[in-house]
Structure formats: C-alpha cells, structure tokens
Chain A
Amino acid sequence: MTEALLETAGLADLEGPAAEGRAFTADELRRVVAARNPLAAASLADRARAAASGLEVTWPWTLRVRAPGLVIPPEDGTRVSHALPRGADGDSLDGIAATELEMLGALPADAPLGLALELVRSVAAARPDLPLRALTAGEVASLAAREGRSGEDVLRALRSAGLAALSWRTGCGGAAFDAELDIHRAAVACGYAVAVPVGYAKDGLAGFAAHAAAAAAIPGIASLVVLPATSETASPLAGTSGIEDWIACAVARLAVGRTARVSADWHVFGWKLGGTLLSAGADDVVAAQCARAWAPPTDDGPRPMSPDRVRAWILEARRSPSVRDGRFRAADLR
C-alpha cells in the first residue's frame, strides 16, 4: 500500500535507502519536506526505524528536580517534580523509583560556572545512582563564553561534578545552532550521552532538514530530539501543525538512519500527538515522571504520565517498550 503512496509523492526512489537505514543527505531530506505528505514521510521513516531498532521503543523514567535559584519556564513546569532536598528537614529523593534525574530550569543569564557546578554537584549527590540530565548546549556555550574557556573545558568540569547528559528545552536547536552543535560534538568527546535537540518553527521545515542532517553527522550521538517551537497548547494559528510535527519526526529519523535514536518529548508535543509519532520514526519517548501522588491531569500544558500509561501507549503503537537510563543504557525499574 505504501509503495503506491511513495510513488504518488515522488519519493519511491528513497524507499531502498530508507529500508537500509542509510542516513539521508540534506538534499534528500529537503525532498521529503517538499513532498508535504506526512504519510509518505512516515512510511520512509518507519522503514528506517525498523532497520535501526526493530520494534523496540526506549523510555526513561524521569525524576524531575527543582533546584533553588533556577527559573523554570512554563514548558518545563509541572506539578510532578520534586524540590532539591535541603538539609535534614528536606524532602528526601531516596527511594523514588527512577532511571534518570533531570534538573529543571534555566540558569540565570549571568550565572558563573561555579554556580552551575554547585547545582550539578548538589542535585547529583541527591541521587548518585541516577544519571543526571541538566543544562542545555546553549547554556554551556554561554558559560564557556563568560568564563573565557572552551566548551570542552566547561563540559569536563561539569562531567566531574556529576553531569551525565545535556538537556533540552523548547527553543533549543534553533538560533545559534552551529554553536550548539560544537558543544554537542565536544560532549561526545567528553563521554556524555548526547541527545541533540533540533528545533523548528511553523513553516520552518526546510531549515529543520538542514539542521537535522548537520546534527546527525556528529559521530557518536545517542539521539536526535525533535523539538517544535511551541507546545501542544499554543494556538494553532501560531504553532506548528500536527502535519509538520509528523514530517519533522520522520525527517529526523531519515537524517540519522540507523545510527541513533529519535526522541519524542511528550511533555513538549503533548501525549496525544506524541503517541502517534511512534509511527513516524520516533523510537524513544521522554514522558514518564516519578511522583508519589499524581496531580489531577486537568491542567493545560505538561501533564504527568505514569509508567503504566507510557508502556500501554507504546504497546498500542504495536511496539515493544524497553526502559533505559539517562545514558541510553538498558535499565530496570525497581
């Protein structure tokens, strides 16, 4: 059925390379974008996904932590997060089942490296058994510029303090993309698990294709993170369309071929659209948050996903769920 679809979309010649899991060139990715057909794009991406990871969809169970002094943008804000323990009276993070730790929030614009190191040390110490994901490539680039040090230097210092992976936030992977890519390249060299966010805005998929190809060319990355400029709750007059999100996800998969995962952050896409992206090339889901008591899921914006629901929705997509940690290693949920 999909052969006829690809024929109609003028993409039939790309079926073979997709099925082999060969990474597409920027020109090929632009052709996929230009076809403006989400089913054709997804059909190619699904072949590449099958070559890359079979039926397996990985997902971390994330313990989200609010650290003092950091500004938490609305898209990161969620009631299902925990304050960093402070002293003996603090709320302990011990005993909460999780496979990765995420520090929420943005560094103040004038924050020195010392503050970043202290925050990373404090959060990592709260759960030394969990890989810590924190700070964006853009923040690392800013720290390096302010301190007059190289990105690699800053990354090594943060790694020593306990940082395992860089994070992402809506808006990442757009402006100053080349500078961010340099940081990700350095992060691979420093031993980080590197998920590269590639952003796009409404009507911006041509640029996205070029960025995705550039990001995918970094050897050793673990994942491309598809990141629309606005979240699910934004007005449909301003935000990306569901069709653009499908095509972007497919393009990300075709950019990496079989060399890395494609992560869909359901906090950003919303869990309804996010679930469908598993049919458009995504094979990694960032969605499940740890909580002791679930908040009622009636608010707009990011909502909590229980591990049971994440598993169920992965199965619903006819895929096989597999828990990973923050370094993209297989993990167990205790």
Chain B
Amino acid sequence: MHDELDRILRDVAAGSRRLTPEECARLYDEADLVALGAAAHAVRCRVNDPAVVTYNVDRNINYSNICDSYCGFCSFYAPPGSKDGYLLTRATIRRKIEETKALGGRQILMQGGTHPEWDVAWYADLLRFCKSLGVHVHALSAPEIQAIAKVSKLPVRETIARLRDAGLDSIPGGGAEVLTDFARNAISPMKCTADQWIEVHREAHALGMRTTATMMMGHKERTADRVEHLERLRSLQDESLRNAGGADAGFTAFISWTFQPTNALKRMEPVGSAEYLRNVAVARLYLDNIRHHQSSWVTQGPKVGQAALWFGCDDMGSTMIEENVVSSAGTVFKMTSPELCSLIRAAGFRPQQRNFFYEPVEALFLDAPDRKLAVVGDRPENDALPREAFEAAGVTAR
C-alpha cells in the first residue's frame, strides 16, 4: 500500500506524470506527511528557484463590509441597512494607498462584500480613483463581480472588461472557499456557486487578465470536496494556458488557509496545522500548472508559515499592512517587511520582494524593525468627510 503511494509521489515529484483525482484522495487520507512534504518540496525546487522565497508588500483595503451573502463562517460582514456597515471615503483610501507606497508596497488588494445596489459604474469610479494613485489594483473577488454583473444586468465578461478598463489589474481568488456544491451549501449557500466562481476566472483569463486561486479548508468539506476543488482549478488553468498559446496565463498562484472558527460557526473544532501542511503539499503536487504557491502565515502563525516553505510553498505571501477579514475571526499574527525577510532567512531561503506577477522588485525597507506597521484590524475613523454622501447610502463613513 505505502510502496504504491511512494511510487506515486516519486513519479509526480519527478514530473513524469500527473496525479489522478483518485490518487489525490489517497494522498489526502493515507500519505505520510513528511513524504508528502518531500515530494512537494522537490516539485517546488524544480519549478522555482530553490534558494529563493518571494514575498509581497501590499495592503488589504476593505472598502466596505456591507454584504448580503450572509456566510455562516464570516465574522466581517454587516448586512445592508445594519448600523455596523461602513464604506471607506476616498480620503481614507488615498491615505491607505499612500502609506502602502511609502512602505515599499506597489499593490493593493481591495475587497468588500456583495452589495445589492452598487453597479459597475459605482465600482468603475472606485477603481479609477485607486488606479490614479499609481498602484497595481488587485481587487474584487468572484462573488463581488457576479453581484456587480447581476446589479448591472450585464454579462460577466463585459462586467470584467468595464472594470478592467477602469483600472482593475487582476482579480483575487477570494470567495472560492471549497468549490463544490456540498461544501458551499454547508457554509455559504447564498454566495455565488462554484460554477459562477469558475466563470469569473475563466472570463478574466480569456480577457488576458491574471487571477489567483484560493481554498479555505477545514470546515465542513470532505476529502472528495478538496479533490474536486483542486481538479476544477487545474482544469481551468489547463484551458487558460492552452488558449494563451504557450504564454504565461491564468492563475499566478494558489493560496490556501484554514477556516477560523473563533466567532462565526464557533462551535466547530478548527483543523490543526498538520492538516494545513498536508493540504499545502497535496495542492502543490496536484496543481502542477500553477507555478507559485503561498504560505499562509496570517492564519497559521510565523512558525508554521516557515514550515510550509518546505511543503511546497515558494512564496511567503504579503506583509499585509492591514487585514480586516481574517482578523475579525480572532487571528492576530502580524509582520513587518524585515520580520518577514528574517523569517524567510531563518527557514533557509533568500527573501526576494516581488510584484503581483512574481517579478522581482527592489525591496524598500522603510519600516523600522521595531515598528509594528501591520495594524491588523485597523479601522481608523476618518475626518475628511463627505458625510452626506454616506448618509444617503445609509452607511457609516470611515
């Protein structure tokens, strides 16, 4: 039995063949964790510079928390009409972007919720504003884009095209959770379906845009759900690469993290980091057409984040100057650029700052090591107010 798994791992590590879904399920359920790590690390070293681990400096800007998807696992959202709902002013967004640039960041990750009224013109204005400040705008997850298309009564491809023309550079993989009907019905039945998530990324790829792929694991999904999730991502990536005629295309990276049960669905027991590392390694082996895999130190802590670099990850993610969503569920890990670099070095690799496309960029260490710039959960009140605009929208300005 284990000789057979070992043979599978050796073949896949060498790149001589692909994993089948059935083999993938067996690796999830039966494989030795260290052997999985060894195979995943061998693949990572074959497709990326074995000495280098990349990282990004960016900021998660959550322009609003208003959302009508009502996901059972989310501790961040406020329903439309709730007094807890907020919308960031342009002045606040400008300040956050300028701070990001001052800290050496070249990108923002901007996501909110699914809003029942905001249409493509509203979002185009927002994107145009962000883009005018000179950063890469990685924004709007698939569920948001589906909601925008629905409100705007536009096809998904045209919606994405208009958002792109307004300044959208790339699309984050958020909202994937686990891409099966079983898992989505269990935790987020009102969010877009697995097919709709795939549709957004397929259309974006067809338009020549790059996106990322994610997985939030460790809730109610079964092994079969994880395998189906990976299979859907791999199939789409095959298709996107084929359509691009050999050019780099489709997903730039895969990022997985664990469900944080602290606030929402809090009676669920969280999965441990052994299961996280198992998922990271299996994903690296299965997703042989997605070149970069990120470690999630935000949910796992710095030490498991380092361990993941030996289980198939070649990227330490982002310093996350600001993060509001996972931190709403109680995760409190924080990091500055020098800390992130120190962490990478201590794990045995050379840190290299990158941009969204994983191209190396010059690192700008403007943040002092002893200064905690990663203000997790920061939601500063904003005094540059067009308050009436927010009152008209029935939300609180920040």
Contact = CB atoms under 8 A, between A and B. Distances in A.
Given A242-B347, A243-B347, A2 B35 contact: yes
Contact of B342 (A237, A245, A273, A296): A237
Nearest to A42: B34
Interface string A289-317: 00000001110100000001100110011
Interface stretch (B110-118, B151-159, B265-273): B265-273
Interface of B: 6, 9-10, 13, 32-35, 37-39, 41-42, 262, 269-275, 277, 300-307, 310, 330, 332, 335, 338-339, 342-343, 346-348, 369
A278 B310 CA distance: 16
Given A1-B10, A279-B274, A300 B302 contact: no
A209 B68 CA distance: 56
Contacts of A46: 32, 34
13 contacts: A1-B35, A5-B38, A232-B301, A237-B338, A242-B304, A243-B306, A244-B346, A271-B272, A272-B301, A273-B301, A317-B272, A317-B274, A318-B33
Contact of B346 (A236, A270, A313): A236
B338 A43 contact: no
Contact of A1 (B9, B277, B343): B9
Contacts of A242: 302-307, 347
Contact of A273 (B33, B273, B335): B273
A308 B269 contact: yes
Contacts of A237: 338-339, 342, 369
Q: Which 4 A-B pairs have the closest CB atoms?
A: A242-B303, A275-B272, A241-B346, A242-B306
A326 interface: no
Contact of A232 (B37, B303, B330, B342): B303
Given A242-B306, A270-B301, A276-B273, A36 B34 contact: no
A299 to B, nearest CB: 9
B347 A316 contact: no
A309 B267 CA distance: 12
A1 B301 contact: no
A270 B306 CA distance: 14
Contacts of B335: 236
Contacts of B338: 237
Nearest to B14: A4
Contact of A275 (B32, B37, B273, B346): B273
A9 B366 CA distance: 38
A184 B342 CA distance: 37
Contact of A39 (B9, B302, B310): B310
Interface in A200-244: 202, 232, 235-237, 241-244
A313 B348 CA distance: 27
A245 B35 contact: no
Contacts, number: 121
Interface of B is mostly: helix
Contacts of A275: 272-274
A272 B306 contact: no
Residue of A1, A275, A278, A312 ringed by the most chain B CB atoms within 10 A: A1
A308 B267 CA distance: 12
Contacts of B6: 1
Contact of A278 (B274, B301, B305): B274
Given A39-B38, A318-B32, 7 more contacts: A2-B32, A36-B348, A241-B346, A272-B301, A272-B303, A298-B262, A309-B269
A42 B307 CA distance: 12
A151 interface: no
Nearest to B331: A298
Nearest to A311: B269
Given A2-B34, A241-B347, A297-B262, A316 B301 contact: no
Given A275-B272, A275-B274, A317-B33, A270 B303 contact: yes
A246 interface: yes
A316 B275 contact: yes
B305 A2 contact: no
Interface in A5-44: 5, 36, 38-39, 42-43
A221 B354 CA distance: 50
A289 to B, nearest CB: 16
Contact of A2 (B38, B303, B306): B38
Contacts of B273: 272-273, 275-276
A236 B302 contact: yes
B307 A273 contact: yes
A64 B32 CA distance: 34
B272 A4 contact: no
Contacts of B305: 242
Contacts of A1: 6, 9-10, 13, 35, 38-39
Nearest to B301: A272
A316 B218 CA distance: 11
Contact of A272 (B37, B272, B369): B272
A237 B341 CA distance: 9
A271 B13 CA distance: 30
Contacts of A241: 303, 306, 343, 346-347
Given A1-B9, A5-B38, A39-B38, A276 B304 contact: yes
Nearest to B303: A242
Interface string A242-274: 111110000000000000000000000111110
Contact of A279 (B33, B306, B348): B33
A179 to B, nearest CB: 30
A43 B39 CA distance: 12
Interface string A46-63: 100000000000000000
A273 B2 CA distance: 26
A273 B304 contact: yes
